[in-house]
Amino acid sequence: MSEKQLPEFKDVLSAADQIEGYAAKTPFLKAYDLSEKLSAEIYIKPECLQRVGAFKFRGAFNRLSRLTDAERKRGVVAYSSGNHAQGVAASAQILGMDAVIVMPEDSPKMK
């Protein structure tokens, strides 16, 4: 088994370029109470405003959009009980490819 490599900053920049125009630009909001309590400037990024209501869309779209044409024609399979499944499904739909989502029987019904 190969050792996983941590992403470098250039990878983050590449991902940002890849999802540009597809992922929502969610705002930074100052967390006033927390900032005061910690004596620091604390900001939050409400990814609930993202497509599918979660940050998982960003990673799913970044990965699926980098597939070759041959890989896209084969489609993808994802196993998830929640937000990752929604991110993969939405990304596949945008990219015009098939996706099969496998979910456990005890997944939350709202997902």
Please list the pLDDT of the chain residue by residue as tens digits (111 residues).
567 789 999 999 999 999 999 999 999 999 999 999 999 999 999 999 999 999 999 999 999 999 999 999 999 999 998 899 999 999 999 999 999 999 988 877 776
Rounded CA-CA distance 90/93 in Å is 5
Please report, for the chain, the start and end positions of each structural domain, with discontinuous segments joined by +: 25-102
Q: How many angstroms separate the most distant Cα atoms in the chain?
A: 53
Name the fold adopted by 25-102. Answer: Rossmann fold (3.40.50)
Which residues are known catalytic residues?
A: 56, 81
Q: Give the SS3 label for residue 7.
A: coil
pTM, 2 dp:
0.86
Radius of gyration for the chain, computed over Cα atoms and rounded to the nearest angstrom: 17
